[in-house]
Amino acid sequence: MTKIAMSHLRAEICDAELDEWRMILDTNAFDPARTEARLVGRIYRDKHKRFHDGHGVLTSPLRTHLHRVVSGAIVRTQRTRYRLLSPKF
């Protein structure tokens, strides 16, 4: 598969891209003893047109294993798949 085809495939399997992102731990609303990982960052190329490019978002809890949350990966929340761009340090 060519680089162009692979790039197109990556774009097809995510709903949006998240740039300047970082992971935060949050308390579960229904079980305060349980923590959840979420991402905060700037959304781009939202296929569902919910947000304008560059809008700041806080995701719903991640469904992706935390060791897979790295730049370039596709991570999943309840309803959205994000491709992670550059993290914010």
CA distances for 72 relative to 33, 49, 58, angstroms: 31, 22, 19
CB 75 within 8 A of CB 52: no
Q: Mean pLDDT, to the nearest integer, of 53-64?
A: 97
Average pLDDT of the chain? 89
Per-residue pLDDT tens digits for 5-19: 445 445 458 999 999
Q: Mean pLDDT, to the nearest integer, of 69-84?
A: 96
Per-residue pLDDT tens digits for 37-58: 999 999 999 999 999 999 999 9
Place of tokens 């992971």: 23
* Single pTM value for the model: 0.81
